[in-house]
């Protein structure tokens, strides 16, 4: 298949591009290199050194003989985007090209506005480009489990049948996002549903959980192919961050009580989920929603898992319950369905001690690159 990876230089996009290329698909990347610019803005850097996009692509070609085309530009630039789409004629458009950090969106007004405009306009432009040039293509869009929030009922995959006053309807599952970033994904979902309904586009909205682990079989093949490892308070996420903290001798920072429970997924499953969705496209006019995660964990449980594995490796850790910078429930019901990708054949990598050990080893090998004052989550929601 012809796969266009929007945001193909990012944490999920790059390993996805490699995996799909390895599987024999024809892959092209669109990226505006924004993620690298945000590192400069925030004074952070990937814990594992990463090559430039150009070096990455050259290395992949040297190793495999496979070509990945790269188009540098912004989805908000419709002239650019639509030309790439028209020329490449993708079977699937995998859309990661969004500002994806909740804390980044909460830095201040300007960052909230930037996040929502960047994400919403980018996605609107993708929808119009599909309508105009590839109406039969399939949009594989990355959403987030954070669109749902933490309701007191089971979370279904995108839709819920509601019985009310003696009547019934299948409705879009109600959303309650936890940041202006998460809200931007809700906005996207609303726009995509509408576009599928009126234009007959096909889309799969992958409500992804928190992604952990860093490298895949492909990114491990050469240091120039290495994936980025975020450990900082803005872009770093649970598990991976705990491993960096443990490696640096920093307390594992749990926000508040730590009962916050979320869906998690290994990045090796992320890349496989994308291919599964692409190989089994939605119908024309259909917006499918898959909850893309494999296990539920509380933040406290993850900190303890990391702490235990670290101990076996001779690393002493402490768990610090710091003031929660976010506004969120710290104890709550959480039961989210996630069977649709399993039905398509996903064989999950569940969280093993070996995975944590790999992450710790990788963080230890690069511990001099960790800037201590970048670790705390300093962006406050209130």
**Residue 41 in the binding site for a second copy (CB under 8 A):** no
Per the structure block, which two tokens stand in for 204? Answer: 């799969």
Choose, by CB under 8 A, the member of 20, 29, 124, 273 that binds a second copy: 124
**Residue 134 in the binding site for a second copy (CB under 8 A):** no
Per the structure block, which two tokens stand in for 340? Answer: 């649709």
**Residue 217 in the binding site for a second copy (CB under 8 A):** no
Q: Could you tell me the smallest distance in angstroms from the CB atom of residue 376 to a second copy?
A: 20
Per the structure block, which two tokens stand in for 252? Answer: 């594992």
Contact predicate 102/57, CB 8 Å? no
Per the structure block, which two tokens stand in for 165? Answer: 């006053």
Q: Could you tell me the smallest distance in angstroms from the CB atom of residue 192 to a second copy?
A: 10
Contact predicate 5/13, CB 8 Å? yes
For residues 61 and 10, what is the distance between their CA atoms, to the nearest angstrom?
19
The strand pairing partners of 295, in sequence order, are: 264
**Residue 194 in the binding site for a second copy (CB under 8 A):** yes
Q: Looking at beta carbons only, is 195 or 238 nearer to a second copy?
A: 195
Sign of CA dihedral 250, 256, 261, 263: negative
Q: Could you tell me the smallest distance in angstroms from the CB atom of residue 201 to a second copy?
A: 11
What is the pairing mode between strands 2-6 and 26-31? parallel
Choose, by CB under 8 A, the member of 72, 176, 313, 342 that binds a second copy: 176
Choose, by CB under 8 A, the member of 22, 191, 301, 371 that binds a second copy: 191
Binding region for a second copy (CB under 8 A) out of 1-9, 124-132, 216-224, 354-362: 124-132
Q: Could you tell me the smallest distance in angstroms from the CB atom of residue 34 to a second copy?
A: 18
**Residue 365 in the binding site for a second copy (CB under 8 A):** no
Residue positions annotated with a catalytic role: 144, 181, 185
**Residue 160 in the binding site for a second copy (CB under 8 A):** yes
Count of positions on this chain that bind a second copy (CB under 8 A): 47
Residue 282 CB neighbours (<10 A): 19
**Residue 177 in the binding site for a second copy (CB under 8 A):** yes
Q: Looking at beta carbons only, is 11 or 181 nearer to a second copy?
A: 181
Helix (H, G, I), strand (E, B) or coil at 278: helix
**Residue 175 in the binding site for a second copy (CB under 8 A):** yes
Task: Give the distance between the most distant pair of CA atoms in the chain.
Answer: 64
Nearest to 123 by CA among 107, 140, 110, 148: 140
**Residue 199 in the binding site for a second copy (CB under 8 A):** yes
Burial class of 155 by CB neighbour count within 10 A (0 to 12, 13 to 18, 19+): buried
Choose, by CB under 8 A, the member of 109, 323, 347, 373 that binds a second copy: 109
Terminal-to-terminal C-alpha distance of the chain? 46
For residues 264 and 282, what is the distance between their CA atoms, to the nearest angstrom?
24
**Residue 179 in the binding site for a second copy (CB under 8 A):** yes
Q: Which residues bind a second copy (CB under 8 A)?
A: 78, 109, 112-113, 116-117, 120-121, 124-125, 128, 151-154, 160, 162-165, 167-169, 171-180, 183, 186-187, 190-191, 193-194, 197-199, 327, 333, 381-382
């Amino acid at each position: 298949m012809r796969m266009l990876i929007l945001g193909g230089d990012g944490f999920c996009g790059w390993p996805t591009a490699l995996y799909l290329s390895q599987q024999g698909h024809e892959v092209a990347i669109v990226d505006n290199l924004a993620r690298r610019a945000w590192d400069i803005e925030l004074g952070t850097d990937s814990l594992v050194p990463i090559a430039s996009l150009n070096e990455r692509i050259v290395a992949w070609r040297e190793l495999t003989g496979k070509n990945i085309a790269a188009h540098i530009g912004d989805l908000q630039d419709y002239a650019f985007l639509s030309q790439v789409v028209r020329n490449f004629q993708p079977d699937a458009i995998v859309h990661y090209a969004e500002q994806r950090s909740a804390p980044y969106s909460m830095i201040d007004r300007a960052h909230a506005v930037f996040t929502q405009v960047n994400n919403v306009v980018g996605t609107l432009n993708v929808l119009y480009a599909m309508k105009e040039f590839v109406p039969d293509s399939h949009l594989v869009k990355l959403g987030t489990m954070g669109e749902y929030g933490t309701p007191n009922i089971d979370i279904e995959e995108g839709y819920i049948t509601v019985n009310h006053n003696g009547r019934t309807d299948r409705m879009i599952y109600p959303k309650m996002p936890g940041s202006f970033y998460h809200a931007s994904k809700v906005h996207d979902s609303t726009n995509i549903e509408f576009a599928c309904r009126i234009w007959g586009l096909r889309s799969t909205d992958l409500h992804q959980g928190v992604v952990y682990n860093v490298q895949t079989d492909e990114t491990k093949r050469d240091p120039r192919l290495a994936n980025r490892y975020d450990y900082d308070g803005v872009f770093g996420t649970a598990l991976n961050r705990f491993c960096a903290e443990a490696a640096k001798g920093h307390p594992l920072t749990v926000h508040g009580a730590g009962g916050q429970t979320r869906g998690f997924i290994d990045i090796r499953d992320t890349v496989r989920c994308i291919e599964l969705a692409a190989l089994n496209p939605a119908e024309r006019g259909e917006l499918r929603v898959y909850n893309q995660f494999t296990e539920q964990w509380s933040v406290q449980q993850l900190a303890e898992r990391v702490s235990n594995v670290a101990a076996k490796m001779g690393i002493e850790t402490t768990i610090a319950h710091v003031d929660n910078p976010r506004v969120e429930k710290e104890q709550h019901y959480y039961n989210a369905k996630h069977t649709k990708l399993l039905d398509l054949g996903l064989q999950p990598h569940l969280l093993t001690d070996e995975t944590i050990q790999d992450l710790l080893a990788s963080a230890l090998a690069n511990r001099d690159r960790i800037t201590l004052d970048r670790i705390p989550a300093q962006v406050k929601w209130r």
